[in-house]
Amino acid sequence: MNKKSLCLLLAILTVICFAFPLVASAETRTAEPPDEELIGTIIVTEDGEVVVEPTRAAAALTCSLVKSGTKYYAYAKITTGLPASLKVSVYLKNSSGTTLASNSNTGTGTVLTTQTTAITLSPGIYTVSATGSADSTPVSLTKQYSVS
């Protein structure tokens, strides 16, 4: 064998020796928990297929001020991608921060809602705040509304 062939063979063997342990060690890795997405374990199977095994789901929280006839109520909903122990609370406050109505709910599943009793509101600015948790992971949301 000439020097060029020997150097090429040695370079190829070096790459194979360093790359093989990296490929072999990539069988199971845990994903970093992203915000508002499914959290789980990423598994690369022997045939190279990537599989995500969910371990828990982050919660999404929504809230709104709803008009029903001449009255208004605050509504909140917490949603997860996997069944979890859920809690959701909603607060309706006036512009000075006084709580006018509130309610909460707890349960297990993927969706949980709550709403306040309907009350008459004078024209002005109101805040609807929602707090919740999915398997003790807290979330919160606040929105402002103008009533005329």
- Complete DSSP assignment for 109-142: EEEEEEEPPPB---SEEEEEEEEEEETTEEEEEE
Give residues with Cβ within 8 angstroms of 37, minimum separation 6. Answer: 58
Report pLDDT for 19.
Answer: 55
Report pLDDT for 49.
Answer: 78
- Averages of pLDDT over each 10 residues, the chain, 148 residues: 66 62 44 48 75 70 96 97 94 97 97 97 98 94 96
Report pLDDT for 46.
Answer: 78
Q: How far apart are CA 62 and CA 10, in angstroms?
A: 61
Q: How far apart are CA 36 and CA 15, in angstroms?
A: 40
Domains recognised in the chain with CATH numbers: 3-56 (no CATH), 58-147 (2.60.40.10)
Report pLDDT for 106.
Answer: 98
Report pLDDT for 33.
Answer: 44
96: Cα separation from own chain's centroid = 31
